[in-house]
Structure 1
């Protein structure tokens, strides 16, 4: 039970914050406080923990600043290739949606996630966030309106086939590459604080194809690559010295053409991509989780 509760808490926090590393820290902080808590007045300990994590995540998001020295700030991606992950895979938001969530304020984001992602009723959301039912409804309506203005679609993105894309990229076939894109394709790159990338969003077939060909020829040619699934969307990892150096995440339209590419090269956001390297395996947390399990009825 303890492991399931921990994974659930981590998933709530990740969806609200958009960073696995920060979600990990928030959950660890909540667990530490829970262990030292007088639980005689806590009726439902799991619900108490969920409520604490959600509200801590909202507060963290309110305090944190989105900043990327190089490129566009993007959420930290996580693998959803297999069920063997610290997160509950089925409840992890898809990557395109996480990007859109950044247009919401933290409370709107939390309400939308709880309603759409976890099937909460407005009465339950009101209890968790300590707001009125009417306020919950208003926040949800505002969130939906903002997301609609950003072309939000509730359905999971199409899986798509990356083989033609990889072939065109490796063979420097710009015309073929352009044929796989929608006319209004966009490429966003996040280099974090250390990796220099284009500082603005790249729009259009020609500019996107030319930029991708340049990046591949200069930095990725000959590197080991893996086609995988990241936040429920098709993606490619490029590795060097057994370390992920680049992750491209793709969004396909209904005609199986690529309309958005998210390029993550920020080292601090790639270090947790593979399960074996994901945070939460350290000795301190292992001991903390043992205490957590002993305190959880």
Structure 2
């Protein structure tokens, strides 16, 4: 178990990026462990390669079944948010964790997504990826370029440092709470879009809200309906700043952002309670382990 645990963070990172679901990623890692425990020693030439192959193939199978479920999903499907307090790492790592990036990956086939994630986020060569997917290196290279072409229209603009993003999100929160239309106009890009994921379990906009004016009206409407005991906290979620909305000590919405060129281009509102469960466990664990103030 100790040997396996050294690879657990890597396996979870791969599975989460492949699936966009932290709870499903945990299941894939656990299943990988079970396969490892029952494998013959002769099957394992390199433990790392063996584990990565198993988790990748499990995720591929999961994606194939999840694709049908997500086509029937009520409203917008968004990834599960995760707490990433150590996000001052490489920009490439933050990018591959972002809600915008994970949402974009939904446009790829399972095989394209696997190759794109393994090559882009983890820098694995095509021959190693081919061994995991039972394909040759040329086929993996073709899948990668096909994925690139699909995503080319959505290539990210200049993304500022995390501190600059946090400052901008703070300004957005103050403008939204005070109803400052001019400030909101300056902060929101003309083509800004709001996606809301309630999963049919809570009330949420079924269709994306597009355009600066519509989004401002949408934000103003939410502010008018705000609960009396509403509190808002700011956390680093999926490598970027996010607003967490609470009532009665219960988290009910996470708002993530796509920020580029000094403006907000996308807002990702996750309200589905099932998708907030993992994040709430992360927050409870963190708050429980923090030392008490002197």
Q: Does 1:228 align with 2:266?
A: no
Q: Pick closer, same or farther for the CA change 1:166–1:91 going to 2, 3 Å.
A: closer
Q: Does 1:72 align with 2:76?
A: yes
Q: Pick closer, same or farther for the CA change 1:158–1:97 going to 2, 3 Å.
A: farther
Give TM-score scaled by structure 1 length.
0.85
Give TM-score scaled by structure 2 length.
0.86
Q: Pick closer, same or farther for the CA change 1:208–1:68 going to 2, 3 Å.
A: farther
SS in 2 for 1:263: strand
Question: Unpaired segments of 5 or more residues in structure 1?
Answer: 84-88, 279-297
Q: Pick closer, same or farther for the CA change 1:50–1:80 going to 2, 3 Å.
A: same
Report what 2:15 is aligned to: 13
- 1:235-275 CA-partner distances (Å, limit 9, x unpaired): 10011232211110011121x11111011111000111141
In structure 2, C-alpha distance between the alignment counterparts of 1:158 and 1:196, rounded to whole Å: 34
Q: Does 1:197 align with 2:200?
A: no
In structure 2, C-alpha distance between the alignment counterparts of 1:204 and 1:20, rounded to whole Å: 31
SS in 1 for 2:256: strand
Q: Pick closer, same or farther for the CA change 1:67–1:76 going to 2, 3 Å.
A: farther
- 1:74-109 CA-partner distances (Å, limit 9, x unpaired): 1111111247xxxxx869622211011000011101
Report what 1:113 is aligned to: 117
Given candidates 47, 50, 60, the residue that maps to 1:48 is 50
In structure 1, C-alpha distance between the alignment counterparts of 2:21 and 2:43, rounded to whole Å: 32
Query: C-alpha displacement at 1:162, in angstroms?
Result: 1.5
CA contact 1:70–1:195 (8 Å) conserved in 2: no
Report what 2:24 is aligned to: 22
Query: C-alpha displacement at 1:155, in angstroms?
Result: 6.8
SS in 2 for 1:27: helix
1:266-277 equivalent positions in 2, closer than 5 A? 266-274=272-280, 275-277=282-284
In structure 2, C-alpha distance between the alignment counterparts of 1:244 and 1:102, rounded to whole Å: 26
Q: Does 1:175 align with 2:182?
A: yes
In structure 1, C-alpha distance between the alignment counterparts of 2:94 and 2:263, rounded to whole Å: 25
CA contact 1:162–1:234 (8 Å) conserved in 2: yes
Report what 2:59 is aligned to: 57
CA contact 1:184–1:205 (8 Å) conserved in 2: yes
Aligned length: 271
Query: C-alpha displacement at 1:208, in angstroms?
Result: 0.4
SS in 1 for 2:107: coil
In structure 2, C-alpha distance between the alignment counterparts of 1:232 and 1:36, rounded to whole Å: 36
Q: Pick closer, same or farther for the CA change 1:213–1:23 going to 2, 3 Å.
A: same
CA contact 2:115–2:144 (8 Å) conserved in 1: yes
- 1:156-189 CA-partner distances (Å, limit 9, x unpaired): 5654221221111111223321221111111100
CA contact 2:156–2:260 (8 Å) conserved in 1: no
In structure 2, C-alpha distance between the alignment counterparts of 1:100 and 1:212, rounded to whole Å: 24
Q: After the TM superposition, which segments of 4 or more aligned residues of structure 1 sit over 4 Å from their partners? A: 67-70, 89-92, 154-158
CA contact 1:237–1:247 (8 Å) conserved in 2: yes
Q: Pick closer, same or farther for the CA change 1:116–1:26 going to 2, 3 Å.
A: same
Structure with higher helix content: 2
Given candidates 129, 134, 137, the residue that maps to 1:130 is 134
